[in-house]
Amino acid sequence: MTATEYVLGLPGPPISLSATFELVAPPNSSDLAGLAVLVKDPISGAVTQLGGPAAITLRAAGDPAGVGLDIEFTAIPNTFDGLSISLDEINSTFDSLRFPDSCPATPATVIVSADSYLDPTVQAGSAPLKVTGCGSLPFTPGFAVSVIKDSGDSHVAVSTDITQTIGQADARSVSLAFPSNVLAPNLGVVSALCADPTTGTCTSIGSAKAMSPLYPAPLTGQAYLTGSFTAPTLTLVFGPPFSLALTGTVDLSNNSTTFTGIPDFPLTDLGVTLNGGSHAVFETTCRAASGVATANLTAQNGDQTASASTPFTVSGCGSFTGGGKGSSGGSGGKPQLHAVTLTGLTDGKPSLLFQLVAGKNAPKLSSFTVALPSGVSFTRHRVRRVLRLVGISLTGARLKSARLSHGQLVVTLRRPVTSVIVSASDRALKEGRGPRSKIDHGTVKRLKLRVIVRDAAGKSTTLTVVLRTPKRKAKRT
């Protein structure tokens, strides 16, 4: 700190005062902390505090200046050792601050506002805060996976763990992928679909735990299935003291989940466990019990990427008995029909979703035929003067052909697969007015769906599932 001494009103030679900053208790209850200025007398060597501690406060995102930090010094003294002084310069260095891991292309602005004993008018100055060196941070995450199959069905519990050492760059996005020949999506989990996990009324499908060098205790949270049954997402909700929700986009075709927009908050360990049981996210046929899972991460600054892979083996595949809850077709090598969902019957926009899985130690699936419940039918649309099927999509398999035969959908796959998810939107389906009226009036209670599956060896199996109709619409009064 540089100041000018005044003797009898006349300026004397400049003096330099060595000062240090100490983080102290907040001066006010609303402050984050206080900053004390300790000055060393150049003659006696005595250390004294210069005025009261400065108030350190946080600005919220809604502040006109944006989110940030304020340090406010008040009542800076104009005397020192009995002499009048005029403070000319403060040259400050703050040690051990944690800057963001992302270096902005456009530097943020630091603003200094000050008034004087001789002039109470506030004057302001500013300068850009240039943050460099973000790309020089190490970024070498570790990745571990554990998979345990239920003893009585095909559902599995999956645990993932991403680790980093202290001082590494934080991740901005994380994508986790699993081999589809080992783990397949369990569509039965749609029963736990949740619109807003913050309401406290949703069913958890797993848990999360994180460790940060900024907090002495583990951070715990719950996992929820969010989004829609055609576009599912996975949301991790952490409670106090850091209330945070991380939402990942689920890609059924690639068997992956990608979390983006992760806050710039250092984590040394992020573990997620997705439960088995009726709300399991994954299932396995045990045809392949081992595979390699991958994690692809991008650092906060965006200029570093890292990939980590780990081999894993599904524990418990030897105890598979088949025929779990929510499936048809039994066991003994027969294919299975999972998680049939038929929606939109009460508003004239039906849509269908289901999963076919090849039987254990049986040939893969090569084709299938879908016979819809009475009153619901497939439809074709005229595209460039040609009638075509639209609104049919497959996940986990490539389509060779799709056609209608006597009102039934016949699908042939390009190559045989172990599992395939079939979706038919309201563009592919239509519902007659008679069946809709019967559903509205409660005269139809059950609907039957039949799927004839043909495997690569040419064997056909008929799978049938009976669906409950939706509840009657309440009449308006």
What's the rounded Cα separation, in Å, for the pair 316 and 155?
A: 11
Boundary of a domain, candidates 31, 65, 97: 97
Strand partners, 20: 38
pLDDT score of 384: 66
pLDDT score of 178: 95
Residue 87 domain flag: yes
Q: Is the domain of 340 the same as that of 308?
A: no
| pLDDT at 434 > cutoff 70 | no
Encoded tokens for 99: 């800057």
CB 360 within 8 A of CB 285: yes
Number of domains observed in the structure of the chain: 3
Q: Is the domain of 394 the same as that of 429?
A: yes
- Region of 322 (left: φ > 0; alpha: ψ -120 to 50; beta: rest) is left
CATH number at residue 334: 2.60.40.690
CB 421 within 8 A of CB 412: no
pLDDT score of 321: 39
Top pLDDT among 5 and 121 is at 121
Q: Is the domain of 362 the same as that of 279?
A: no
Residue 449 domain flag: yes
pLDDT score of 58: 84
Average pLDDT over every residue of 76-86: 82
Return the minimum-mean-pLDDT range out of 13-22, 91-100, 293-302.
91-100
Q: Is the domain of 155 the same as that of 270?
A: yes
| pLDDT at 125 > cutoff 90 | yes
Average pLDDT, the chain: 85
Q: What is the pLDDT of residues 314-328, one digit of tens each?
A: 998 864 333 333 344
Q: Is the domain of 304 the same as that of 277?
A: yes
Average pLDDT over every residue of 185-201: 84
pLDDT score of 328: 41
Encoded tokens for 9: 């009103």
Q: Which amino acid is at 468?
A: R
Average pLDDT over every residue of 142-146: 95
Residue 27 domain flag: yes
Boundary of a domain, candidates 97, 127, 146: 97
Q: What is the pLDDT of residues 439-465, one digit of tens each?
A: 555 555 678 899 999 999 999 999 998
Share of the chain above pLDDT 90, in %: 35
Q: Is the domain of 315 the same as that of 331?
A: no
pLDDT score of 331: 43
Alpha carbons within 13 A on the beta-carbon side of 14: 7
Residue 133 domain flag: no
Average pLDDT over every residue of 30-47: 86
Return the minimum-mean-pLDDT range out of 48-62, 311-325, 367-381.
311-325
Full-model pTM: 0.64
Q: Which structural domain range is residue 401 located in? A: 327-468
pLDDT score of 323: 38
Contacts of 167 (CB under 8 A, 6+ apart): 137, 138
Q: Is the domain of 207 the same as that of 300?
A: yes
Share of the chain above pLDDT 70, in %: 90
Q: How confident is the model at residue 163 (pLDDT cuts 50, 70, 90)?
A: very high
Q: What is the pLDDT of residues 378-431, one digit of tens each?
A: 988 776 666 678 888 888 788 899 988 888 999 999 999 888 888 888 888 888
Encoded tokens for 28: 């006010």
pLDDT score of 61: 73
Strand partners, 357: 336, 419
pLDDT score of 329: 39
Return the minimum-mean-pLDDT range out of 26-35, 174-183, 437-446.
437-446
pLDDT score of 436: 57
Return the minimum-mean-pLDDT range out of 30-44, 278-292, 315-329, 345-359.
315-329
